[in-house]
Structure 1
């Protein structure tokens, strides 16, 4: 019989809200309380704790950095899939990539979650340039999803948006214990790096980029933090480079030096001052 979820008191929820916002910049709205309970239930069971009050006390322990990271991992996982928002992938392949003459072309998949976007971009880069002449970085605040992304192993049902030619070239169907799964081709996995990064921090350590995909993540932040994140991203975008946001996301004001060139597609026209 399934175990009933532990109740989450208003006091413990308020503490989790405050800590999570400080660490990630994301404010957990009151209606997210049940999501917090469902996602952290396994952590309480793993640590054999009687409830959320005890879990919050554990998280306050300076020695529990690993558990605090596990909590962040559990609460920052978002839904993603291969070749999401196809019009932008078409723009990336047909408009952005052919315009870059300098090599290597450097691409950043920000807030990449479990890696489906990153691998979609890797496949497009490899189709256009081959296995050389480009660099691709996937980043996320969650170490757990980055490990998943780097592994490149996914259930077969994730293939529903994959172009058939791309599927046959870059994916390997799992056998025996990997039945029902597929693996990104080893040659492609060797060409991509994954790195932990908090979008609220400057991105200079990641390098400079010709293209940045920052899709479907700004909606989780308030206006000041959205501006802060965009400033960090634009600062590491080369003049002439492209920024892709989620098609459902809107900007009240364009960052300095950027102009819109397509649906949620922006291009840097000049260095920021």
Structure 2
């Protein structure tokens, strides 16, 4: 899942000064581990301007003060500043690795547990679930999808998507695991209920101590690390490795590298790592 701020413009006369921007920089880094450079200032202003207006506040500084005392607004601002981009079967080589190597090597009889650690609106965990259902059938398996944003998690749980996204799904999976919308749902499709039941979604902040999620055989953490500095990367990976089985797989985005981040990781192929036994 990518985390990137979207452009926008604050109303005329409103200015997000360097001092106020610094407050939001430190806040989003503390909360989500995201590093925002000076080039993001206009984007932050555009994203938050409507909330400033809706609360009848006169400045971004006043809105920042509101965040410190209003948990609901705090979460809403996090959602606004952690926009999520994802696709079904994004970066196909990783799914080929799952099909050709990970699934065939998994010990028979032991449930296969896969974690999509920044799942956004659910396309990645549902893609994994389709592949696992196709290959493993009735064998025990589970997919967990987590994200910091409650807004995208709610959309993920619904499993309802625009028909335009269906072209990203292989035709056999589309026929087996998706229902075409009719009537009021025309133009959308629904992930089949039997598949949705095998995918669980939870809010998890990777920048904090993790809840007890159990051990996983595979963790997908794609297109997230590019928004973290080296210190944050090491902390996130250290926490995730505690939840990864020995010889488990850790998959990051094609543009990302974990070289030198942890001695517990061994490179398998570009963007794919295994935890030492």
TM-score, normalised with respect to structure 2: 0.90
- Is the counterpart of residue 33 in structure 1 residue 28 in structure 2? no
Corresponding position of 1:53: 61
Q: Secondary structure at the match of 1:33?
A: helix
More deviation in 214-223 or 21-30? 21-30
Q: Secondary structure at the match of 1:205?
A: coil
Corresponding position of 1:235: 242
Residue 120 and residue 59 in structure 1: after superposition, are their counterparts in 2 closer, same or farther (change >3 A)? same
Q: Secondary structure at the match of 2:200?
A: strand
More deviation in 162-171 or 195-204? 195-204
Decide whether the 8 Å contact of 1:204 with 1:236 is kept in 2. no
Residue 3 and residue 257 in structure 1: after superposition, are their counterparts in 2 closer, same or farther (change >3 A)? closer
Corresponding position of 1:95: 101
Q: Secondary structure at the match of 2:212?
A: helix
CA positional deviation for 1:77: 1.9
Residue 258 and residue 50 in structure 1: after superposition, are their counterparts in 2 closer, same or farther (change >3 A)? same
Q: 1:83 aligns with which of 66, 81, 89?
A: 89
Q: Which has the higher contact order (CA 8 A, sep 6+)?
A: 2
Decide whether the 8 Å contact of 1:131 with 1:191 is kept in 2. no
CA positional deviation for 1:11: 2.4
Corresponding position of 1:175: 182
| 5+ long unaligned stretches in structure 2 | 1-8
Q: What does residue range 6-155 of structure 1 map to in structure 2 within 5 Å? A: 6-60=14-68, 62=69, 64-101=70-107, 102-155=109-162
1: distance between equivalents of 2:176 and 2:59? 49
CA positional deviation for 1:144: 1.0
CA positional deviation for 1:173: 1.4
Corresponding position of 1:259: 266
TM-score, normalised with respect to structure 1: 0.91
- Is the counterpart of residue 185 in structure 1 residue 192 in structure 2? yes
More deviation in 128-137 or 186-195? 128-137
Q: Over residues 2-33 of structure 1, what are the superposed CA-to-partner deviations in whole Å (9 max), with x where a residue is unaligned?
A: 99464322222111111111111112211111
CA RMSD of aligned residues (A): 1.9
Q: Secondary structure at the match of 1:213?
A: strand
Decide whether the 8 Å contact of 2:31 with 2:207 is kept in 1. no
More deviation in 175-184 or 44-53? 44-53
How many residues get paired?
Answer: 267
1: distance between equivalents of 2:54 and 2:185? 26
Decide whether the 8 Å contact of 1:171 with 1:185 is kept in 2. yes
1: distance between equivalents of 2:152 and 2:238? 25
Q: Secondary structure at the match of 1:28?
A: coil
Corresponding position of 1:201: 208
| 5+ long unaligned stretches in structure 1 | none
